[in-house]
Amino acid sequence: MPRDLKAVAKEDGLQGAPQLTKSPEAVEGQLRNMDEDRSTAMDATDEDDAVERYRAEAGSTSKRDELHPYTQSLSPKDVESCTRLEEEAFPPHERCTREKFQYRLKHCGELSLGIFTSHSENQIPTAEAAAPVYSGAPDRKAVLIGHIIATKTTNPTVTDKDMAVPSPDDSKPDPSIGHKEEGRTICIHSLAVLPEYQKRGLGTTLMKAFLQRTESHDIADRVALIAHEHLMPYYESFGFVSKGESECKFGGGGWYDMVKDLEPGDKPSQYGGAE
Ligand SMILES: CC(C)(COP(=O)(O)OP(=O)(O)OC[C@H]1O[C@@H](n2cnc3c(N)ncnc32)[C@H](O)[C@@H]1OP(=O)(O)O)[C@@H](O)C(=O)NCCC(=O)NCCS
């Protein structure tokens, strides 16, 4: 049976996050241990996924690997980091506001995914807002370096109403605005990597992790986003298909609708059992 994503998000403690160890020997050792574990516990986790991705991409992304990145669901505690990251990555008219992060991470944070590093030595713009990895080492922070922010909609593509959020003071919010729990289309509102960490494969790792976990937990039929023309080939590389010009006027318009249909859920997992 597909696992409920909220339960998965709960399981994703930072202490359980993948430790993408530095040397190839250490990684191989970790992979061997995980392979052994799978023979008794056939249950794919984000940790498994991240190490599998590491194995697939090893060798080509050493600059990324220096960061020991790991992916994890987002929650309201990440609002400040996400706001900061957005300020770094987007021009003002295309940014997701703090108010939108507050709404989205409160109502459906488990749909959104961050890519973090616990490297605390360098001056990462989001470091100030980062929370300690665990109380035993308060100087070791979980620093956000990229995020995918998502909600669900009942529409087949992203609309301006899906991108809007109800006013927090509104006692009778318009039900057509914002996240729809019953929707089967996941809307990606933002994919962003801190500028100084771009072009190291982090955006690709994040998007692949996002799609893999969305697909394996059977929470939607498709993923939709709006993109400017120059990024369409990038999204096509993940299987998104252009549906033509978008009606969205967000940020001044000029967007294309892109949609990726997901494989039906509840399929046998790659390890032989049903998840
Ligand atoms: C788009 C983005 C998330 C990619 O993250 P990343 O970690 O740099 O991506 P990867 O290293 O995995 O892949 C790099 C590829 O992204 C694509 N890409 C990134 N920026 C691009 C741009 N401005 N124009 C065209 N292609 C671009 C290219 O295909 C690039 O491959 P190349 O290096 O061979 O040219 C990142 O550039 C970013 O945060 N940009 C600013 C915010 C944004 O525009 N987000 C998307 C709209 S919501």
Q: Ligand 1 centre from 32 Cα, in Å?
A: 33
85 lines ligand 1 (CB under 6 A): no
Is the model more confident about 58 or about 159?
159
199 lines ligand 1 (CB under 6 A): yes
For the cut 90, the answer to whether the pLDDT of residue 87 exceeds it is: yes
For the cut 50, the answer to whether the pLDDT of residue 234 exceeds it is: yes
Q: Whose CA is nearest to atom 27 of ligand 1?
A: 231
- Give the angle 84-90-96 at the CA atoms, nearest 5°: 65
Question: What are 179's two structure tokens?
Answer: 């996240």
Q: Tell me how far CA of residue 101 lies from CA of 78, 108, 131, 260, in angstroms.
A: 9, 10, 17, 24
pLDDT in tens, 64-82: 777 889 999 999 999 999 9
191 lines ligand 1 (CB under 6 A): yes
Which residues does 102 contact at the CB level (< 8 Å), separation at least 6? 76, 79, 168
61 lines ligand 1 (CB under 6 A): no
Mean residue pLDDT of the chain comes to 79
Q: Ligand 1 centre from 203 Cα, in Å?
A: 7
Q: Ligand 1 centre from 193 Cα, in Å?
A: 8
Query: Which pLDDT band, with edges at 50, 70 and 90, does 34 fall under?
Result: very low
pLDDT in tens, 11-32: 443 333 333 333 333 433 343 3
- pLDDT at res. 129: 86
Across residues 196-220, what is the average pLDDT?
94
- pLDDT at res. 122: 61
Among left, alpha and beta (phi > 0; psi -120 to 50; other), residue 146 is beta
For the cut 80, the answer to whether the pLDDT of residue 134 exceeds it is: no
Q: Ligand 1 centre from 1 Cα, in Å?
A: 35
- pLDDT at res. 143: 94
Which ligand 1 atom is nearest residue 202's CA?
Answer: 7
- pLDDT at res. 63: 72
238 lines ligand 1 (CB under 6 A): no
What's domain 5-162+177-222's superfamily in CATH? Gcn5-related N-acetyltransferase (GNAT) (3.40.630.30)
Q: Helix (H, G, I), strand (E, B), or coil: what is residue 162?
A: helix
Which residue ranges make up each domain of the chain?
A: 5-162+177-222
Cα 99 to Cα 90: distance, rounded to the nearest angstrom:
16
118 lines ligand 1 (CB under 6 A): no
202 lines ligand 1 (CB under 6 A): yes
pLDDT in tens, 92-127: 999 999 999 999 999 999 999 999 998 766 688 898
- pLDDT at res. 120: 64
Q: Which contacts (CB < 8 Å, 24+ apart) does range 270-273 have?
A: 270/44, 271/38, 271/42, 271/43, 271/44, 272/42, 273/42, 273/43
